[in-house]
């Protein structure tokens, strides 16, 4: 039990929580805009900032602790676009027109049949549906179930970081010398450096994920398309699951049920014949 409590995921989440609230405390204690607004009784802005920080933490723990879409049992052995049991010679259908059968791959680690777009994560020791990547920041995989929440978390986190960036900049005060300025602004300067780095990282993550989602392709598929059997005929930013930007975004954020990607793939293949 001690080993589970002090696991890597627990340490990362604890560090993220402490760092978030420590920087928030620095912004309130230094002579930044929040400090002045609080002193003069202008409470809506400080309260809104704290509320946004609290919301970002809620989404962080939701994405970090929820099931990303673990594969827990075997699905159907084969997936087929046209029903089995038809005598195609009677119907006059040649071999090329016969229904395509897709056999699900069996994972070499957990020995379960992997649905299409699933991948085994060695860190989580599970196969994850529509696997995107394992994120060390949240200590969890990003998959079919928590990927939309992950992007919403990034949006809220970016708003908080941009606001915090403005607040730290407003809190710097001049000093008579470089040494005196450093002493006055030491903690604020450290917070500013951390906020700048995280802002840059979050912007890159958010832009890249929104682009990939609009193409209906995952980070894993984008990076390893040349090794994935159903993507070998595609370029790195092409996907057989692409239905257009608006429909991709709508399905991504509004679909709550498990998606049978095998059927969508076979329908796309059939439409090309």
Report pLDDT digits (tens) over 142-190: 999 999 999 999 999 999 999 999 888 877 766 666 777 777 778 888 9
Strand partners, 133: 142
pLDDT of 245: 93
CA 82 from centroid of its chain's CA atoms: 35
**161, 198 contact by CB (below 8 A):** yes
Active-site position among 127, 135, 141, 215 = 135
pLDDT of 100: 52
pLDDT of 83: 40
**Mean pLDDT for all residues in the chain:** 82
71, 73, 226 from 113: Cα distances, Å: 8, 8, 22
Report pLDDT digits (tens) over 72-110: 887 654 444 434 344 433 334 444 444 455 667 888 888
d(CA 164, CA 182): 20
Strand partners, 142: 133
pTM, to two decimals: 0.83
Asked if 135 is an active-site residue, the reply is: yes
Does the pLDDT at position 32 exceed 90?
no
In the chain, what are the domain boundaries? Answer: 2-272
């Amino acid at each position: 039990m001690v080993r589970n409590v002090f696991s890597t995921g627990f340490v990362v989440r604890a560090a993220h929580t402490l760092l978030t609230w420590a920087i928030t405390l620095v912004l309130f204690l230094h002579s930044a805009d929040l400090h002045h607004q609080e002193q003069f009784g202008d409470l809506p802005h400080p309260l809104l900032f704290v509320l946004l920080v609290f919301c970002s933490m809620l989404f962080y723990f939701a994405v970090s602790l929820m099931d990303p879409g673990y594969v827990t049992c075997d699905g159907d052995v084969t997936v087929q676009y046209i029903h089995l049991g038809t005598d195609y010679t009677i119907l006059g259908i040649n071999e090329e027109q016969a229904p395509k059968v897709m056999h699900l791959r069996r994972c070499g680690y957990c020995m379960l049949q992997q649905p299409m777009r699933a991948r085994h994560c060695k860190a989580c020791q599970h196969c994850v549906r529509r696997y995107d990547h394992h994120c060390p920041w949240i200590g969890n995989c990003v998959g079919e179930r928590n990927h939309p929440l992950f992007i919403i978390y990034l949006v809220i986190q970016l708003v908080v970081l941009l606001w915090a960036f403005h607040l730290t900049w407003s809190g710097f005060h001049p000093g008579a010398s470089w040494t005196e300025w450093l002493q006055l602004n030491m903690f604020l300067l450290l917070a500013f450096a951390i906020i700048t780095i995280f802002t840059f990282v979050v912007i890159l993550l958010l832009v890249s994920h929104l682009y990939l989602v609009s193409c209906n392709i995952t980070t894993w598929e984008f990076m390893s398309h040349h090794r994935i059997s159903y993507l070998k005929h595609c370029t790195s930013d092409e996907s057989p699951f692409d239905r257009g930007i608006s429909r991709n975004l709508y399905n991504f954020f509004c679909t709550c049920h498990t998606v049978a990607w095998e059927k969508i793939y076979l329908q796309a293949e059939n439409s090309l014949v």
